[in-house]
Amino acid sequence: MRWTLPPDQVPEAWFNVVPHLPASMEPPLHPATRQPVTPDDLAPLFPMALIEQEVTTAPWVDVPGEVLDVLRLWRPTPLVRATRLEKALGTPARIYYKDESVSPAGSHKPNTAVPQAFYNKAEGISRLSTETGAGQWGSALAFASALFGLECMVYMVRASFDQKPYRRVMMETWGGQVVPSPVDDSASPGSLGSAISDAVRDAAGRDDTHYALGSVLNHVLLHQTVIGLEAKRQLEMAGESLPDVVVGSCGGGSNFGGIALPFVPDPSVRLLAAEPMSCPTLTAGTFEYDFGDTAGLTPLLPMYTLGHDFMPPSIHAGGLRYHGDAPLVSNLVKSGRAEAVAYPQGKVFEAAITFARTQGSIPAPETSHAIRAAIDEALAAKEDGEQRCILFSYSGHGLLDLSAYDDYLHGRLVLEA
């Protein structure tokens, strides 16, 4: 079963969770002065419209018409009830997933890439620089840049650059330029932290260039709330009131935030972030001010972190290899409003195969963390004999991650990592 909505039902305003947070947010601090950053501090990197969204307390923020025009190429995305998976698990739970894999880039990332490209274009910028882990974010920004006529420069974590050559080709097909990061150490597998440093340096050094971040920041999570907003409407169409639990995989937090934030005002709804055991930011990190990047160029953010020089192993879910987490998500976890769980990749790929062979779609390794958690929630409901309603974000397909499946299917994957 599947619930679609016509293109004119794309949400016309983003949901701002800030007025609904259980605890107040601490401000980002300037990396040199350790004083709260000002809009002027951020102006070399971001357009003013995004800086305003970063700090706004307005409950809703309008989506510009030019952004809606592009989002409507694939949004609203379908909500699917995973009846075949439910049957295979023998669970009384009802499992729904929001299918973000239908975007041209194959993930939820274009939801923020499109408005970021739009606002930069509107303020006269002609070139964007960014980092990418698994390649999902870089693909999304290359796609959005093509549609708004911007140049796009992508610093790709070297581990993924080497593992996923097709991701580079995808970005090049949209006209993007891609180099492995760190640019100054070809022996390093890299990390999202080091790639952010490369991209920020690029943007800081050129007047025609701004930086675009694919996760972590408030405005990024704001743009992703279309996921949860649409899902709420579609659950109503499916005859559900509210889900018992909302699940999302969590690296920097944009996917988890996108599906979960619109449910923060609904106290009965549990919010569950799934992360890799090899990069267990929310489950084993500490909550403190830390840099967003390895080199210490970004503002200090109040968040769960493993330390900005943490170098996670080269697991296949490259999009989740981030030392920190979005301040908004960290706030929710610290206050107890959201929970987190960590999985080794063997358990994650086991869930991915189960999903592919029942529902038919092949999920990204990142997404498969949420599938693992949703399956475990469904099995817990079976154990408890309860008909719970589970919603998760199917954040991206795995069609450019098939080398990871090849490794798993042929016994070459480190299951415990």
Binding to a second copy by residue 174, rule CB under 8 A?
yes
Cβ proximity to a second copy: between 165 and 267 the closer is: 165
Binding to a second copy by residue 4, rule CB under 8 A?
yes
Binding to a second copy by residue 6, rule CB under 8 A?
yes
Q: Which stretch binds a second copy (CB under 8 A): 167-175, 193-201, 205-213, 386-394?
A: 167-175
How far from the centroid of its chain's Cα atoms is residue 127's Cα? Answer: 23
Q: Which stretch binds a second copy (CB under 8 A): 28-36, 319-327, 355-363, 379-387?
A: 355-363
Binding to a second copy by residue 403, rule CB under 8 A?
yes
Restricting to residues 50-79, name those near a second copy by CB under 8 A: 70, 72-74
Cβ proximity to a second copy: between 175 and 280 the closer is: 175
Query: Shortest gap between Cβ of 178 and a second copy (angstroms)?
Result: 11
* Binds a second copy by CB under 8 A, chosen from 29, 88, 102, 238: 102
Closest CA to 375 of 210, 247, 285: 247
Cβ proximity to a second copy: between 164 and 323 the closer is: 164
* Binds a second copy by CB under 8 A, chosen from 23, 43, 58, 402: 402
Binding to a second copy by residue 362, rule CB under 8 A?
yes
Binding to a second copy by residue 88, rule CB under 8 A?
no
Cβ proximity to a second copy: between 324 and 396 the closer is: 396
* Binds a second copy by CB under 8 A, chosen from 175, 307, 344, 346: 175
Cβ proximity to a second copy: between 150 and 297 the closer is: 150
String marking each residue 106-135 x if it binds a second copy according to CB under 8 A: x-----------------------------
Contact between residue 318 and residue 364 where contact means Cβ atoms under 8 Å apart: no
Cβ proximity to a second copy: between 70 and 297 the closer is: 70
Cβ proximity to a second copy: between 56 and 177 the closer is: 177
3-state secondary structure the chain: CEECCCHHHCCCEEECCHHHCCCCCCCCECCCCCCECCHHHHCCCCCHHHHHHHHCCCCEEECCHHHHHHHCCCCCCCEEECHHHHHHHCCCCEEEEEEHHHCCCCECCHHHHHHHHHHHHHCCCCEEEEEECCCHHHHHHHHHHHHHCCEEEEEEEHHHHHHCHHHHHHHHHCCCEEEEECCCCCCCCCCHHHHHHHHHHHHHCCCCEEECCCCCCHHHHHHHCHHHHHHHHHHHHCCCCCCCEEEEECCCCHHHHHHHHHHCCCCCCEEEEEEECCCCHHHHCEEEEEECCCCCCCCEEEEEECCCCCCCCCCCCHHHCCCCCCHHHHHHHHCCCEEEEEECHHHHHHHHHHHHHHHCCCECHHHHHHHHHHHHHHHHHHHHCCCCEEEEEECEECCCCHHHHHHHHCCCCCCCC
Binding to a second copy by residue 43, rule CB under 8 A?
no
String marking each residue 200-239 x if it binds a second copy according to CB under 8 A: ----------------------------------------
* Binds a second copy by CB under 8 A, chosen from 45, 50, 134, 146: 146
* Binds a second copy by CB under 8 A, chosen from 63, 150, 203, 400: 400
Q: What residues make contact with a second copy under the rule CB under 8 A? A: 1-7, 70, 72-74, 80, 84, 102, 104, 106, 143, 146-147, 165-166, 169-170, 172-175, 353, 356-362, 399-400, 402-403, 405-406, 409
